[in-house]
Amino acid sequence: MSRTGIFNLTQYAPTNEQLLAGVVEPSCELKVDILSLLTFETPETAMLINLRALELAEIAALSGYESAMIGGAPFLMGALERALRNCGITPLYSFTQRRSVGKTQIFVHVAWVEAPED
């Protein structure tokens, strides 16, 4: 049975707006694994990229949530979208808008963009 919510499969902590929109942060132990899989120190082969995507999707599937917020290296996202969909998880991207707060520009989450299906 899937849990309602959006599993955070990014390297960043969710913003307050994202938390209010249903994002759930993984445990500290899982976050370390996620960060390791999302971080590339050198260019990688397609096979390794697909393998990392599968491992990330497996982590998300074990969380039990029906969707996952994704973001990271552009060359990983397509493989991650496919791997998540194969596990029955909807990949979502956070749509943000630039806003002025005083003299500072910030990005505020305003909506979810579902990754298009093939």
Number of domains in the chain: 1
Let me know if residue 118 belongs to a domain: no
Q: Closest Cα partner for 92 from 77, 75, 79?
A: 77
Q: What is the pTM of this model?
A: 0.90
According to the model, what pLDDT value does residue 6 have? Answer: 98
What's the CATH number where 73 sits?
Answer: 3.40.50
Alpha helices in the chain (DSSP H): 16-20, 28-38, 46-63, 74-86
Q: Which residues pair with 94 in a beta bridge?
A: 112
Let me know if residue 26 belongs to a domain: yes
Q: Which structural domain, as residue segments, surrounds residue 56? A: 3-93
Let me know if residue 81 belongs to a domain: yes
Let me know if residue 98 belongs to a domain: no
Q: Tens-of-pLDDT digits for all 118 residues of the chain?
A: 578 999 999 999 999 999 999 999 999 999 999 999 999 999 999 999 999 999 999 999 999 999 999 999 999 999 999 999 999 999 999 998 888 888 888 888 888 888 888 7
* 93 contact partners, CB below 8 Å, separation of at least 6: 69, 70, 71, 112, 113, 114, 115
